Chains A and B, each alone.
Chain A
Amino acid sequence: MFAAARKRRGFIFPPYVLLLFPAVLFMLLIYAYPFISSVIRSFINKKGALSFDNYIKSWNLYLKDILFTFSITIFNTLASGTIAVLLSVYFRLHDSVISRFLINLYRLPIFIPFVVVAQMMNGFLAPHGLLNIALAQLRLIDLNNPLQLFNFIGLSFGFIWKLAPFTILIIYGGFQMIDNSYIEAARSSGARRLNLIIRILIPMNKPSIMVALVLIYSQIVGTFTLPYMLIGGKIPTTITVDIAHRVNYFMDFGVANALGVFSYILVFVTAIYYLKTKVREVK
């Protein structure tokens, strides 16, 4: 009876769709519920009424940090992407002892967690850390006036050190998928290295490059440990540090959620692009 009714409406519900249930349930519980609940709570003020109070407060207090987060995300995404593309091209086009050594070496930082990276960077970038001492030994700086790196520069150093290898992993994988004949066809057509890279290799590997950029972009927006341990409560800092600050010191979940929504907005466009690319790949 139900089957007939469904057929009349042109709707067929194949039973194997049920196989999706565990995965969908997991997504709903772990991702969708906290997301929707934080969006709703960001619109509820301390009196329990619907309002934009949390957003106004976030905007007034943390605009600098939102812009800082956005700029550090964009800068590090592009910097990691550029380094990754250059190294991946080098790996793809050169087969030498150095390239083989680097291919084995570059993967190591992927397996080191952010908290360890942050601790390493703390020691390395500190006013009397390894970098400053090394530069002083080379007489490039005076150790009484060391480089201050617990800021945009130090954070970028940490992000690039940690994320460029992950980016290389994806982008180099894409370059490896390009058959040699495409490269040889370009070279026999007269293309030198730069044209080969810009006009053939990068366009042919555009999907991998974009996916890698989207993934590290989202990762940078959401990273807490590295900015927390390197910059902490200094101004400007990142949204994630502000969220922790709001919750730990003020128990202010409303503003924390509003800041969370800002970070969602930062990754929203890239997430749509990522999904579209994946859907196209499946098709």
Chain B
Amino acid sequence: MSNLKLISIQKNYGKVKAIDNLNLEVQDGELVTLLGPSGCGKTTTLRTISGFLAPSSGEIYINDRRITDIPPERRGIGLVFQNYALWPHMTVFQNLAFGLQMRKLPKDEIKRRVKQRLETVRLEEYENRYPRELSGGQQQRVALARALVLEPDILLLDEPLSNLDALLREKMRFEIARIHKESGVTTVYVTHDQTEAMVISDRIIILNKGRIMQQGKPEDIYENPANKFVASFMGNTSFINGTVVDFNGKYTGVKTGDGLTIYGIGRKVEKGENVVIAVRPEDVQFILSPGIRREMKSNNLFSAKIERESYIGEVVDYQLKLKSWSIRAKSAVSNKMTEGEIVKIYLDPDKMPILSE
């Protein structure tokens, strides 16, 4: 049973606040992902938890044990690095055994635990190989096994998949999710890859400029972004700016500078307020036959021009011109449209979050 608590963590570099009053609690067995762009403070947070950076202020607890001033080697934290950091002069077995030797465990116990962890990551056959004799994916799994073999209270993973190719990265996402489920270790995962975060996380924390922008389950954050930054970070969201002009009970009407009125779901916005409408590519529906068009609600039906189309395999990716706004959309390959074509689109108001600017 391990939980992690960060209370009012602040990390300053001169006048720059790398972490700004961060409060975070990770429950036992939970996998929480810190997601954000470069420089948002996610790696700084991870290094603060691991003890390689001292916070300027604030407290860190593991299982109610204050660890703020405890050196990294005594925190009971397992770390997996972006570059794997496997010691090149040691075999896979020796890499895993090192930490156990530091704890002065008996040789038989070390052997048993190393073998058990190598089985978890499905690398039993590779114990006598050196890191240079392994592929990137295998090295990553060894790094994970090396952290897990110590049975840490908390496991920290710092962009562990960013050095892998796209195919392997996708495979390893599921592998990490499986290993986390099997080991049940409380985990903090750092990435800038939204898809990766969605696949493996129990909870996502979006960071920007050292502050938490939003936290919640992946689907909640994706469907209900708290602000423009979160919406822009989760998917290829397009934004349309306007002013709130209408409430019709359920939906909020927003009028753009070029005369469009778009309805969406507006929370905490007031009439006259300048807002942005977040439009996701998958929420733009193409109206391909007049029959279907008649069944749609009268609002949010627009004509748009196809500016660019890109075939990306399973779907076609479009860039549409809606008055002066550029928005992204996707459609099935069977309905492929051509550049320059004028199409009818429907923006489902239930899926158009209206956010404060």
B174 lies within 8 A of chain A by Cβ: no
Q: In whole Å, how far is B171's beta carbon from the nearest beta carbon of chain A?
A: 23
B311 lies within 8 A of chain A by Cβ: no
Chain A interfacial residues counted at CB < 8 A:
18
Q: In whole Å, how far is B214's beta carbon from the nearest beta carbon of chain A?
A: 30
| Contact B73 A184, beta carbon cutoff 8 Å | no
Chain B interfacial residues counted at CB < 8 A:
25
B112 lies within 8 A of chain A by Cβ: no
Complex CA–CA separation, A191 to B99 (angstroms): 7
B325 lies within 8 A of chain A by Cβ: no
Q: In whole Å, how far is B1's beta carbon from the nearest beta carbon of chain A?
A: 21
With contact pairs A181-B81, A186-B98, A195-B102 given, residues A204 and B89 touching in the complex (Cβ less than 8 Å): yes
A57 lies within 8 A of chain B by Cβ: no
CB neighbours of A199 from chain B (8 A): 98
A185 lies within 8 A of chain B by Cβ: yes
- Max chain B C-beta neighbours (<10 A), residue from A179, A188, A199: A188
- Cβ-neighbour of B87 out of A185, A187, A188 (below 8 A): A185
CB neighbours of A184 from chain B (8 A): 50, 52, 72, 79, 81, 85
| A195 to B, closest residue via Cβ | B102
| A204 to B, closest residue via Cβ | B89
- Interface of chain A: mostly helix, strand, loop or mixed: helix
B146 lies within 8 A of chain A by Cβ: yes
| Contact B77 A188, beta carbon cutoff 8 Å | yes
| CB proximity to A under 8 Å, residues B122-181 | 146-147, 150
| CB proximity to A under 8 Å, residues B67-105 | 71-75, 77-79, 81-83, 85-89, 98-99, 102-103
Complex CA–CA separation, A8 to B235 (angstroms): 64
- Cβ-neighbour of A186 out of B74, B87, B103 (below 8 A): B87
A190 lies within 8 A of chain B by Cβ: yes
CB neighbours of A189 from chain B (8 A): 73, 98-99, 102, 146, 150
| A185 to B, closest residue via Cβ | B85
CB neighbours of A179 from chain B (8 A): 83, 85
A192 lies within 8 A of chain B by Cβ: yes
| Contact A188 B50, beta carbon cutoff 8 Å | yes
| A199 to B, closest residue via Cβ | B98
CB neighbours of B71 from chain A (8 A): 187
| Contact B98 A188, beta carbon cutoff 8 Å | no
A234 lies within 8 A of chain B by Cβ: no
- Cβ-neighbour of A185 out of B74, B79, B89 (below 8 A): B79
With contact pairs A195-B102, A199-B98 given, residues A187 and B85 touching in the complex (Cβ less than 8 Å): no
With contact pairs A203-B89, A204-B88, A206-B89 given, residues A188 and B83 touching in the complex (Cβ less than 8 Å): no
- Max chain A C-beta neighbours (<10 A), residue from B78, B83, B98: B98
- What are the 8 closest A-B residue pairs judged by CB atoms, nearest first? A189-B99, A190-B102, A181-B85, A185-B85, A181-B81, A188-B79, A203-B89, A187-B72
